[in-house]
Chains A and B, each alone.
Chain A
Amino acid sequence: EALVINDPDFQHEDLNFLSRSQRYEQAIRKSSLMVMKLREYGIADPEEIYWFKSFVHRGRPEPLDLHLGMFLPTLLTQATPEQQDRFFMPAWNLEIIGTYAQTEMGHGTHLRGLETTATYDPATQEFILNSPTVTSIKWWPGGLGKTSNHAIVLAQLYTQGQCKGLHAFIVPIRQLGTHEPLPGITVGDIGPKFGYDEMDNGYLKMDNFRIPRENMLMKYAQVEPDGTYVKPLSDKLTYGTMVFIRSLIVGDSARSLSRACTIAIRYSAVRHQSELKPGEPEPQILDYQTQQYKLFPLLATAYAFHFVGAYIKDTYRRISGDINEGDLSELPELHALTAGLKAFTSWTANAGIEECRMACGGHGYSRCSGIPDIYVTFTPSCTYEGENTVMMLQTARFLVKSYTQVSSGQRVTGMVSYLNDLSRQRIQPQHVAARTVTVRINDPVSLVEAYKARAARLVEAAAKNLQAELNHRKSKEDAWNRTSVDLVRASEAHCHYVIVKLFTAKLSEISNAAVRAVLTELCLLYALYGISKSTGDFLQAGILTDAQITQVNQRVKELLAIIRPNAVALVDSFDFHDVHLGSVLGRYDGNVYENMFEWAKKSPLNKTEVHESFHKHLKPMQAKL
């Protein structure tokens, strides 16, 4: 970290004052340097590269993201050895800069709907690529607009008059040397977005653009010179990459929310406002219960998500060994779980970042607070790598499947094993009373049970509603659609349970007593706050009584006061460097106001003492009126 932050080559003007073109230019400059330095220092481990990159770009996207994160890995996993010889080293040396062009203007998450075509011409042994409609124009790929000279393009393969589904092709798009688009290629930047200013997300339109047969990635599926199509083996393997990327998003949720909490909590300790007690000086706004109620549950959430992110990564590492040996048995559950957790954590973090910004009052709205930037950089993760609602429904599909298995007498394992209890309850009704959870609201383990009961109830309700719709002579798809709001709720409850469970499990691993004590308070706050925000579920299922809900609400407020003295220490522990935090409000030294003034003086509007519009517009008007 210090290596990067102290490197003068990576310094630049505050990005908030730069235009999009300038920000892109800075990002490219830093990426170029970064690649050189990575080579210079001999850094090659993906994890180390990830950290190096995140310090260079301070957690922001950069134009080479897709080259490094998608183009190179895809070559490694999907190219034949011959193709690797042709493309990998040039790409590694950045003679080839590539991107990954999947999403089209009219088609996102539903891959089969993509319209780009690649038609094989055996006469010339070439594929002819076409964007047949406006909706089929490739749209959004990062680095495509201005940076890349190649793209891995996903297109519907046609050979011998038949469509063989989606396949990946390496397509040169710009002339090496001049960087001009090749004939038949229309390429450009898609324009300004909500954030991602430094990224040249692009469009790509192809008109009868020909590439040699050998440019189709053929490690799995193949097209032979005469046009014969050879089918790939299993496609479950692609799950692995998705799990990995989604686990990164969970980690990113934790980090982004932690940054926002750090800023908001430090600032709330510096800001004074109104009076709590008549005649006394204005108190720190962090002393207000409403302010604590906004921020501390988010702080607890940030910690919870850290543990969840670590858990997924570990699990993935553990089972990726099995995957390489062809054992895919654990993959479906992990795949289903990460889909839901990706959605749950990114939704929560997204809303949480906004809460933090709001909690900073007017100054949170200034770009100098850094929170607007965290927000716009993070929020697209609710959509990319699988739109969140669709992700929740994937998890739901797994939950319903597990529920159906249990109903038919099978047992399920892993995080859904609580569904086994449901069937026991049904088969032996006398056990129901015995199994009623007596929830102890100061015991995290007991709260895990409460969340478990809630998840079980909502999964069961969704599954039953689905069945009822099916009995209504509805088609499978209609029934699913008419139950989808219930299904999303069930997934959310399941994810919530998993998070509370993982957080609670983590507590016993902490050896330092003081740390364990404070994290136990956070864990309790996380669990109890979650209950207080969804009291309906717990009341309706009879998991908690009115009196217990009142206790929960009361306990949440007590915990706020207990956590208050440790609040700043808890965000300091995230250990964000000021440069990385990029916030005047969240500075470690708390010298907020003088630095806001210094920052504002650099604003582009302040470049001249009298703005030119005075001479152009104001003065003539005053003269005329």
Chain B
Amino acid sequence: SVNPDLASERQTASFSVEKLTAWLDGGAEHTRLRRAVVKAIECDPVFSRENQYFQSQNERYEAAVRKAVHLQKKMHEMGWSENGPEFKYIYRAVSGDIAFLLHRIFMRSISVLGSDKQIAKWIPLASQYRVIGSYAQTELGHGTYLQGLETTAVFDIATQEFILNTPKISAMKWWPGDMGRSATHTVAFAQLYVHGKCYGVHPFIVQIRSLQDHSLCPGVTAGDIGPKMNYEHIDNGYLMLQNVRIPRENMLNKFCEVQPDGTYVRRGSQKINYFTMTTVRISLISDEVVIPLMKACTIAIRYSVVRRQSKLKPGEQEAKILDYQTQQEKLLPQLAAAYAFHFINSFLQELFDRGYREIQRKNFDMLPELHALSSGFKAMVTQYSTSGVEICLRACGGHGYSSLSGLPSLYTKILASCIYEGENTILFLQTARFLIKSFMAASTGQPVPPSVTYLAAVKPGKCPAKNELDFLRPDIYTEAYQHTAVRLISSTAAKLQDLIQSGVKKHNAWNQCTVQLVQAAKAHCHYISVKNFAETVEKLETKAGIQKIMKHLCDLFALHGIFSNAGVFLYDGYISGAQMDMVTAAYLDLLAIIRKDAVPLVDAFDFTDKSLNSALGSYDGQVYQRLYEWAQKSPTNKQMSPAYEKYLKPLLHNTLSKL
């Protein structure tokens, strides 16, 4: 039975949860398909995550391998394929708790970077798991900056082989998933040397473990890099190569080739490499970031209507903690952000699909903009969502810290997303570089890509809002965001120019402006998110019930941003002090309005209890019962700890000195 405190929240929903879910999924037929996939996976005991919180690193790894192997069988049984519509729901259904994710990247990199011949050789082997691959780029001493990699591949004409080496400890490959224990092969990135000349970083297929007994190949040292904050199920690994020889054909050579005589040939555009990075950055936003944030909101909001604490009015029952303004102010902006980022993801996906079509027509014009948007949004969404999940964790009081709440593992997992696939600060700076360039172009009247045309239309002025209600107008707040973004970008561009004109070297000037540049890039992304949210709401005309609540969330997302960054809006007086008080009032009033629909809004994300895996966040709200039952399953309660006999007993009997 559903806890009455949670049941009552559902009775007062201002909209149809089922309709909102269908809309979020992109249509009712998608919802049906997603539910079918999730059901098929969750019914299968092999995919159970029931004991996950109690397992050791070794057990988690083994379970992930078992699941990955079983998934192959399952897909075959169900008639699902890697290219089928079901595939994107599988990952959601297993909550990413599965091995061989890097194997997939291994295959993708061969498909993108390999010649037809290489594809024909390796892809069938990999699809049948005759070989298990990894993708070894990052080194112990080198991350985001690819040119700095130190692994070497020297071409030996005599034997037509590359000799791979890890010249020093900082050059050791470090972090690649699936490499510590599972992989037999890896795509390793190394500096290519031919006839003593360095040609830069190139990808090579290297066998690291025997296909017979899985032992390491001669010259290869590899293993697991040890415990991390999360990802216990993944064997992130290290790899050291000492005079490891691979045939010439193992260099992925769609774009570059070393011919038998040592001639180096380059063909086609390198730009396509950027496209791969863009793809990965966009694809991680939904699976690795938005979904965890939605889960955290679901858990924290459901728990906040079950948990009661103190009294709001004397003589009454203790109040639900979600009725406290401070609790609403913690959680509801995160909920609004989860929706905002879901919509940004759709926006990027659409843009990306368009870009992909253009590229197939050999038109690379959209690449710079796509690259800038994917970098900036990867950074903004991961950073925002990571802090959002942490806020949810801390908003659940003591129980949030219990692993059984599900929140610690969501948090420790999502926060890795701020680092991988490009460290966020560096990504913001990439976006900033694009913005500065576009701003310069726009100010001299040259054409700029659509997302930055607003930079050309700089109009000075003041925010026209006259009262609190005006700040619920999307045109008013979108304009405020736009104004701020333009101001931050133009002032940073001016600063850069000043420095350069005063004789500071370009790179020094850039470093001296980086703090401002990051701020400008964030403002740009924030503006686009608000604008996109407002436009999404506008398109909802036909769905009146949903439109109203989405409008509230959009307002909240926008006003929360102004409220939390008041300084940048007040600076230059675009928003006056009196107007800022209106913003605050409007913002706080919205909290109370959205509060009423908070539970239906998280219900609409449609996570099953199994996928939440949380004692606090289940649909039925039987929080305390579940917490008690789950705790009893803990190994600490099942196995007799040797600590009592060995240490406590002597201590209690004061015989320790005899030990």
Contact = CB atoms under 8 A, between A and B. Distances in A.
Please indicate whether A and B come from the same complex rather than being unrelated chains.
yes
Interface of A: 16-17, 19-21, 24-25, 28-29, 32-33, 35-36, 93-95, 97, 103, 105-110, 113, 134-135, 137, 139-140, 145-147, 149, 176, 179, 188-196, 200, 203, 271-278, 282, 288-290, 293-294, 354, 358, 361-362, 364-368, 372, 376, 379-380, 382-384, 387, 389, 393, 475, 477-478, 481-486, 488, 534-542, 546, 549, 553, 557, 593-594, 596-597, 599-606, 609-614, 616-622, 625
Contacts of A137: 624, 628
Nearest to A137: B628
Closest 9 A-B residue pairs measured CB to CB?
A536-B566, A535-B567, A194-B408, A605-B224, A603-B226, A191-B634, A189-B636, A536-B567, A274-B145
Contact of B642 (A25, A275, A597, A611): A25
B628 A105 contact: yes
Interface string B391-413: 00110011111111001100110
Given A179-B649, A194-B402, 20 more contacts: A20-B635, A21-B639, A25-B642, A35-B651, A95-B652, A106-B624, A109-B397, A113-B309, A113-B310, A192-B404, A194-B401, A272-B148, A274-B145, A276-B507, A367-B227, A488-B326, A536-B566, A603-B225, A605-B226, A614-B181
B513 to A, nearest CB: 8
B520 to A, nearest CB: 13
B588 A273 contact: no
Contacts of A35: 651
Contacts of A28: 643, 647-648
A535 B570 contact: yes
B305 to A, nearest CB: 14
Contact of A36 (B56, B514, B657): B657
A384 B397 CA distance: 8
B226 to A, nearest CB: 4
Nearest to B393: A194
A562 to B, nearest CB: 14
A191 B143 contact: no
Contacts of B54: 191-192
B419 interface: yes
B380 interface: no
Contact of B229 (A146, A276, A372, A599): A372
B511 interface: yes
Nearest to A94: B651
B4 interface: no
Contacts of A383: 394, 397-398, 400-401
Contact of A203 (B312, B400, B628, B657): B628
Interface residues of B, number: 135
B549 interface: no
A618 B394 contact: no
Contacts of B630: 191
A539 B238 contact: no
A470 B637 CA distance: 52
A367 B66 contact: no
Given A389-B326, A597-B238, A625-B128, A611 B143 contact: no
Interface stretch (B57-65, B80-88, B458-466, B472-480): B57-65
A79 to B, nearest CB: 21
B641 A21 contact: yes
Interface in B211-226: 213-216, 223-226
A277 B508 CA distance: 8
B170 interface: yes
Contacts of A107: 309
A206 to B, nearest CB: 14
Contacts of A109: 309-310, 397
A603 B69 contact: no
B270 interface: no
A486 B329 CA distance: 11
A189 B631 contact: yes
Q: Is the interface of B mostly helix, strand, loop or mixed?
A: helix
A618 B141 contact: no
B293 interface: no
A113 B307 CA distance: 12
A227 B194 CA distance: 95
B309 A597 contact: no
The secondary structure that dominates the A interface is helix
A292 to B, nearest CB: 9
Contacts of B224: 600, 603, 605-606
Nearest to B383: A358
12 contacts: A28-B648, A113-B308, A145-B636, A176-B652, A193-B408, A194-B403, A275-B145, A361-B144, A536-B567, A604-B56, A613-B61, A625-B129
Interface of B: 53-54, 56-58, 61-62, 65-66, 69, 72, 128-130, 132, 138, 140-145, 148, 169-170, 172, 174-175, 180-182, 213-216, 223-229, 235, 238, 307-314, 318, 323-327, 329-330, 390, 393-394, 397-404, 407-408, 411-412, 415-416, 418-420, 423-425, 429, 505, 507-508, 511-512, 514-516, 518, 565-573, 577, 580, 584, 588, 592, 624-625, 627-628, 630-637, 639, 641-644, 646-654, 656-657
Contact of B130 (A191, A616, A622): A622
B567 A188 contact: no
Contacts of B182: 611, 614, 618
Contact of B223 (A193, A278, A594, A603): A603
A94 B56 contact: no
Given A536-B566, A617-B69, A25 B647 contact: yes
Contacts of B397: 108-109, 383, 387
A299 B408 CA distance: 27
B130 A610 contact: no
Contacts of A278: 507
Contacts of B572: 546
Contacts of A481: 312, 323-325
A171 to B, nearest CB: 17
Contacts of B644: 146, 179
Contacts of A195: 401
A486 B425 CA distance: 32
A485 B58 contact: no
Contact of A366 (B148, B228, B643): B228
A107 B69 CA distance: 44
B224 to A, nearest CB: 4
Contact of A193 (B129, B402, B418, B627): B402
B624 A16 contact: no
